[in-house]
Amino acid sequence: MTASLPRAAGFGDAEVGRHDTLTQDCTSQATAPADPSFLPGPVLLLGAPGVGKGTQAQLLVAKYGIPQISTGDLLRGNIARGTELGRKAKAIMSSGELVPDDIVNEMVLQRLREKDVERGYILDGYPRTLEQAKFLDKTIADPDFLPRLPVIAINIVASQDQLLKRITGRRICPKCKSIYNIYTNPPKVAGKCDCEGAELTQRSDDTESVFMQRLKTFEAQTAPVIAHYRALGRFEEADGDQDVDAVNAAVESALFQLRERAAREVSA
């Protein structure tokens, strides 16, 4: 059974700290060693709420030994450390405003100067707008930014009906945080955690109305970014209407195809 993996926090995302995967396990699993034979480079992983993007990101992180860069994590980290960028962001957020692109861009660029990104990284929550995408592409084209490969974008897609079942059917153990789904992965005893025996809970925002609003927001925000990378020939889709392993195989297939395509363009 596939272990439940935490979804990384997205910048301004209502799903901070929650889980996307539909399965659970009472035991922990060891992280696989990094695969040194392939250079993944920067990967923008996209996906609607409930599609399992967080799970797939963690599988890539484990296999290739690359970091997942979440703008939500960067924002919280800068605020916690009291950096200049963090102080600016906190003041803006305290006034109820959105943190502007220039601050978000600078946080991301500082992170991309760290050594652990040399083989690649998974981008989560950034670029979220066309302007951010163009800024990122232009900036990392500078030879100072490793691994000297362009961003590729992979969008995990699933039917609306499937996504709705994943969201509204999700139940969580308040003790061990195991994830169940009443439609696809129910507990052995209805309403009870297999591991702890505790009463399972449902998040207040795991409702159809909230899901539909978040889906509309996702589609509106990502449409320009998808169009941008599609026009550059650096975009593929992966079928998310499958189990975790099959989706992972589709994501990795798209990753290899995009990197091979980019290599051919460079050598041409």
pLDDT in tens, 179-203: 999 998 999 999 999 999 999 999 9
Amino acid identity, residue 136?
L
Alpha-carbon distance of 98 to 101, in angstroms, equals 9
Give me the catalytic one of 170, 171, 234, 259.
170
214 annotated active-site: yes
Round the average pLDDT of the chain to a whole number and report it. Answer: 86
- Annotated active-site residue 128? The verdict is yes
Residue-wise pLDDT tens digits, 31-48: 344 556 789 999 999 999
* Span 82-93, pLDDT tens digits: 999 999 999 999
| Measured distance CA(208)–CA(181) in Å, rounded | 15
Run of H or E residues at 138: helix 130-140
Is 141 in contact with 168 (CB distance < 8 Å)?
no
Q: How confident is the model at residue 266 (pLDDT cuts 50, 70, 90)?
A: low
Query: Can you tell me the mean pLDDT for 110-122?
Result: 95
* Residue 227 pLDDT exceeds 70: yes
- The tens digit of pLDDT for each residue in 170-184 reads 999 999 999 999 998
User: Is 166 designated active site?
Assistant: no
- Please, which pLDDT band fits residue 224 given cuts at 50, 70 and 90? very high
